[in-house]
């Protein structure tokens, strides 16, 4: 296997959930790749399927209500979407790990930091306690925690929010994973702490050659961190592009609308924020007969109602989009 | 029950409620004082005044220094509550028709007056309360039994105490074991057959009174199957049926609490995070979920102790267990005031001690309570 192979390859993934309101297809036909050492941003509003996609990669979909119904996930050349729980468990926390949105609720309030860190090494590596403790101290230092020996004895409630997220990051890195999935890790933090955490993630990528799947709804975070971005809407990827190009020149009407609804520093004074009219569609399992964004789209045309466009590469670029409107009509040019 | 007594009772209750608003620093002092008073009077019954004073001082200092704020607050409430309880029980006993001497054949006014003086049972409830409390504090005795000639209340209760305590503790252990295991299984396999079965069992436990369960057990195990003795006390076999009868109602409540706790905790982010670390599911449940899931069960153990102990009045009599329950029932029927008060004090004392142990366990279980100062409690 060459190192140019993608680390993660998601193809045509569909995930369905049984809910009290019936079957819901939360993710439908999602395909993307994460290159080695790449930071891929996933952006989209709540319910667009970005978190579900990441949980599907880790095999953490709530069973029995949620399951993968179509498509496959490959990790480091191996298909993992059909692995049994035992084999998946060996990958989780070891080769791929995850940090969550709320560092307070994702740490167990009843256990000390040491107890929660050491168990990862004990289960995956069988590391003896003293050695594991040493490794934990190293990692806490690396993620910028002062007095790590003291912190090991603490319980989560004795730490500040930023400190807790650093602990979560250290926990995710204990086994040197090749893939880190970060599910909105800065959303619950103060802006200054956010910046510190982003800086930490950036420096970790540099020193470790780790791939990161960074999920967020914050375009500002995307622009600071990610190499490439996929935009999700209603369980689908609607656009994929290198970060700078996507932010400067969106080629899908949803991305365009998303950018126009986000405040930015580089727009002239008096620039107007335009909210996206309407609401995302309710996700059922009925066959889709039109573009899912058509009801809210500014560039809508009769053909949009005739069938869902496919995600296709845009001629002469490294990007792709799920739209039939002429590219000149959308974005900067 | 005169209006003055009712007013006194209400003032007592108001003072009890008032303890909740006591600021943190005085709470510390008052709790130490309460521990001293309760321990001194308690040990006085068995030990010399000097020895009990030494023990009580030691306990009070320990309480001042080490007792968590949560438990100190509990002491400040419960010890005065004991005094209010004695007063209220006195009022109720006097309000009940009849009196200890009503059945005596020779009940001339002079004889009755002499008897009342001898046993310390004046005609007014308030006077009795002060006579009783004075005797308890000065002489360290629960008073003479009025109906069992020549015996003091502690003579009657001391041999019965270990019997009731062992039965009670065994019943509580049993209710936790049954309730927690059923509840955890039900919570982990939510909406499965196991869940419905254990919750149905819990419903039965809650709905049937313990004497009915006891009688049912007798019929099945002692009469039909003949594997256990019908009643009596002596071997382990005698312990089984009364303990089950006492345990089932609490076990049912514990099962429901444990199920709720497990269901709630399993939805927490930190459980998903633990799974994301690649930990085996069994470890996730035992190490990460159970502690949080069972804290509601621990906090219920205080009330469970109360249920079990009061339940034992009836169950002990039903199964012919020579515990304190029989004295409570006999005392009430005979209007043997000092026996009734004595058993009430011992039962309430046990509930106080148990609640304190529960508080300590609670603080030990939940690290977030440990760093709290008295003021945050």
Exposure of A104 by Cβ count < 10 A (0-12 exposed, 13-18 middle, 19+ buried)?
A: middle
Residue in B270, B275, B368 closest to A157 by CB: B368
Question: Which pLDDT does position A267 carry in this prediction?
Answer: 62
Is A106's CB within 8 Å of B277's CB? no
What SS3 state is found at B96?
coil
Q: Per-residue confidence of chain A (333 residues) as pLDDT tens digits?
A: 445 689 999 999 999 998 888 888 999 999 999 999 899 999 988 888 898 999 999 998 887 788 899 999 999 989 998 888 899 999 999 999 999 888 888 999 999 999 999 999 999 999 999 999 999 999 999 888 989 999 999 999 999 988 999 999 999 999 999 999 999 888 878 888 888 888 888 888 888 889 999 999 888 888 889 999 999 999 999 999 999 999 989 999 999 998 888 877 666 565 678 888 888 888 877 788 889 999 899 898 999 998 889 999 988 888 999 999 888 888 765
- The contacts of residue B304 (CB under 8 Å, 6+ apart) are B172, B175, B250, B253, B254
Last residue of a domain, one of B138, B168, B195: B138
Number of residue pairs across A and B with CB atoms under 8 Å? 77
Are both B30 and B120 inside the same structural domain? yes
Are both B181 and B119 inside the same structural domain? no
User: Residue holding tokens 């020779």?
Assistant: B106
Are A284 and A269 a contacting pair, CB within 8 Å?
no
Is B331 within the bounds of a domain?
Answer: yes
Neighboring chain A residues of B288 at a CB cutoff of 8 Å: 108, 110-111
> Domain limits at B201?
157-335
What is the token pair recorded at B4? Answer: 């003055």
Number of domains in chain B: 2
What is the token pair recorded at B66? Answer: 């080490």
Neighbour tally for B93: CB within 10 Å: 21
Calculate the alpha carbon distances from B212 to A302, B60, B75, B232, B304 in Å. Answer: 76, 43, 36, 18, 19
Are both B111 and B185 inside the same structural domain? no
Q: Tell me the three-class secondary structure of A165-221, residue by residue.
A: HHHHHHHHHCCCCCEEEEECCCCCCCHHHHHHHHHHHHHHHHHHCCEEEEEECCHHH
Question: Which pLDDT does position B374 carry in this prediction?
Answer: 38
Is B349 within the bounds of a domain?
Answer: no
Q: Report the residue of chain B nearest A172, measured CA to CA.
A: B277
Are both B304 and B257 inside the same structural domain? yes
Is B312 within the bounds of a domain?
Answer: yes
Are both B118 and B42 inside the same structural domain? yes
Question: Which pLDDT does position B272 carry in this prediction?
Answer: 92
Min Cα–Cα distance to chain A from B91, Å: 47
Of the candidates A231, A243, A276, the residue with the CA atom closest to the CA atom of residue A44: A231
Neighbour tally for A215: CB within 10 Å: 23
Are both B221 and B253 inside the same structural domain? yes
Is B241 within the bounds of a domain?
Answer: yes
ipTM of this complex = 0.88
Min Cα–Cα distance to chain B from A125, Å: 12
Residue in A91, A102, A108 closest to B288 by CB: A108
Are both B117 and B171 inside the same structural domain? no
Min Cα–Cα distance to chain A from B269, Å: 5
Neighboring chain B residues of A108 at a CB cutoff of 8 Å: 270, 273-274, 288, 292
Angle at A234 between CA A183 and CA A184, to 5 degrees: 10
Are both B316 and B183 inside the same structural domain? yes
Are B295 and B261 a contacting pair, CB within 8 Å?
yes
Is B147 within the bounds of a domain?
Answer: no
Is B310 within the bounds of a domain?
Answer: yes
What is the token pair recorded at A2? Answer: 């060459």
Are B344 and B85 a contacting pair, CB within 8 Å?
yes
Min Cα–Cα distance to chain B from A91, Å: 7
Last residue of a domain, one of B138, B167, B186: B138
Last residue of a domain, one of B138, B169, B202: B138
Of the candidates A50, A46, A39, A43, the residue with the CA atom closest to the CA atom of residue A247: A43
- The contacts of residue B352 (CB under 8 Å, 6+ apart) are B38, B78, B79, B82
Question: Which pLDDT does position A333 carry in this prediction?
Answer: 55
Is A157's CB within 8 Å of B277's CB? no
Q: Angle, nearest 10°, between helix axes B69-95 and B3-18?
A: 170
Is A168's CB within 8 Å of B273's CB? yes
Is B178 within the bounds of a domain?
Answer: yes
Neighboring chain B residues of A102 at a CB cutoff of 8 Å: 269
Mutation choice for A interface testing from B276, B283, B291, B365 by most A CBs within 10 A: B276
Is B350 within the bounds of a domain?
Answer: no
- Count of residues for chain A? 333
Question: Which pLDDT does position B131 carry in this prediction?
Answer: 92
- What single-letter DSSP state applies at residue A300? -
What is the token pair recorded at B332? Answer: 């009430």
Residue in B270, B276, B291 closest to A105 by CB: B270
Are both B77 and B162 inside the same structural domain? no
Are both B81 and B163 inside the same structural domain? no
Quote the pTM value.
0.81
Low pLDDT (below 70) residues in chain B: 1, 103-107, 371-377
B292 contacts chain A (CB < 8 A): yes
B277 contacts chain A (CB < 8 A): yes
Of the candidates A70, A69, A26, A72, the residue with the CA atom closest to the CA atom of residue A50: A26
Angle at A16 between CA A15 and CA A20, to 5 degrees: 150
Q: Can you give the CATH number for the domain in which B264 is found?
A: 1.10.3720.10
Task: Please tell me the distance from the alpha carbon of residue A249 to that of residue A333, in angstroms, as a whole number.
Answer: 7
Are both B196 and B327 inside the same structural domain? yes
| E strands present in chain A | 8-19, 22-34, 39-43, 66-75, 78-79, 96-99, 179-183, 211-216, 228-233, 236-242, 312-313, 320-321
Is B368's CB within 8 Å of A155's CB? yes
Are both B325 and B182 inside the same structural domain? yes
């Amino acid at each position: 296997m060459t190192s140019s192979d993608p680390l993660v390859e998601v193809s045509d993934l569909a995930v369905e959930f049984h809910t009290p309101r019936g079957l819901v297809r939360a993710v439908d036909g999602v395909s993307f790749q994460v290159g080695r050492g790449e930071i891929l941003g996933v952006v989209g509003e709540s319910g667009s399927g970005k978190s579900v996609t990441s949980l599907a990669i880790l095999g953490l979909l709530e069973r029995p209500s949620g399951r993968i119904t179509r498509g496959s996930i490959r990790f480091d050349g191996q298909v993992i979407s059909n692995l049994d729980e035992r084999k998946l468990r060996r990958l989780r926390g070891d080769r791929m790990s995850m940090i969550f949105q709320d560092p307070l609720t994702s740490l167990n309030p009843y256990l000390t930091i040491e107890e929660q860190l050491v168990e990862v090494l004990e289960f995956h590596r069988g590391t003896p306690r003293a050695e594991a403790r040493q490794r934990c101290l190293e990692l806490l230092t690396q993620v910028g925690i002062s007095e790590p020996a003291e912190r090991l004895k603490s319980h989560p409630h004795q730490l500040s929010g930023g400190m807790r997220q650093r602990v979560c990051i250290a926990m995710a890195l204990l086994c040197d994973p090749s893939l880190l999935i970060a599910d909105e890790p800065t959303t619950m933090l103060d802006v200054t702490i956010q910046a510190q955490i982003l800086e930490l993630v950036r420096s970790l990528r540099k020193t470790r050659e780790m791939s990161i799947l960074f999920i967020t709804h914050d375009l500002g975070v995307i622009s600071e961190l990610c190499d490439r971005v996929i935009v999700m809407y209603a369980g689908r990827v609607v656009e994929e592009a290198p970060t700078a190009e996507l932010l400067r020149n969106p080629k899908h009407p949803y991305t365009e609308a998303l950018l126009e609804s986000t405040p930015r520093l580089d727009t002239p004074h008096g620039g107007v924020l335009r909210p996206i009219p309407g609401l995302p569609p309710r996700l059922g399992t009925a066959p889709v007969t039109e573009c899912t964004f058509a009801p809210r789209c500014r560039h809508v045309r009769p053909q949009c109602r005739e069938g869902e466009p496919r995600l296709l590469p845009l001629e002469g670029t490294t990007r792709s989009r799920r739209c039939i409107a002429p590219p000149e009509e959308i974005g900067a040019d | 029950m005169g209006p003055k007594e009712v007013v006194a009772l209400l003032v007592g209750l108001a003072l009890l409620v008032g303890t909740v608003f006591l600021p943190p620093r005085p709470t510390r002092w008052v709790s130490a004082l309460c521990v001293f008073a309760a321990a001194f009077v308690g040990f006085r019954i068995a030990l010399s005044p000097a020895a009990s004073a030494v023990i009580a001082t030691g306990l009070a200092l320990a309480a001042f220094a080490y007792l968590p704020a949560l438990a100190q607050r509990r002491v400040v409430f419960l010890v005065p509550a004991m005094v209010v309880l004695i007063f209220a029980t006195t009022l109720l006993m006097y309000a009940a028709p009849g009196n200890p001497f009503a059945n005596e054949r020779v009940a001339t006014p002079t004889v009755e007056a002499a008897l009342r003086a001898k046993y310390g049972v004046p005609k007014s409830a308030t006077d009795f309360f002060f006579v009783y409390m004075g005797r308890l504090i000065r002489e360290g005795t629960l008073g003479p039994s009025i109906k069992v000639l020549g015996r003091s209340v502690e003579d009657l209760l001391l041999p019965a105490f270990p019997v009731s305590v062992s039965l009670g503790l065994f019943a509580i252990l049993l209710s936790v074991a049954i309730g927690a295991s059923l509840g955890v299984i039900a919570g982990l396999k939510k909406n499965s057959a196991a869940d419905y079965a254990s919750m149905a069992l819990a419903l039965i436990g809650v709905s049937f009174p313990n004497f009915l369960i006891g009688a049912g057990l007798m019929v099945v195990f002692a009469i039909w199957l003949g594997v256990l003795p019908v009643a009596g006390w002596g071997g382990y076999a005698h312990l089984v049926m009364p303990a089950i009868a006492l345990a089932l109602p609490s076990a049912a409540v514990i099962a429901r609490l444990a199920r709720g706790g497990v269901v709630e905790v399993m939805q927490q982010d930190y459980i998903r995070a633990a799974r994301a670390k690649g930990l085996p599911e069994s470890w996730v449940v035992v190490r990460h979920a159970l502690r949080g899931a069972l804290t509601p069960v621990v906090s219920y153990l205080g009330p469970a102790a109360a249920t079990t102990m009061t339940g034992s009045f009836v169950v002990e009599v039903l199964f012919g267990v020579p515990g304190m329950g029989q004295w409570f029932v006999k005392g009430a029927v005979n209007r043997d005031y000092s026996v009734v008060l004595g058993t009430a004090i011992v039962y309430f004392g046990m509930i106080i001690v148990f609640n304190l142990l529960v508080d300590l366990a609670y603080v030990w279980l939940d690290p977030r309570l440990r760093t709290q100062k008295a003021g945050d409690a």
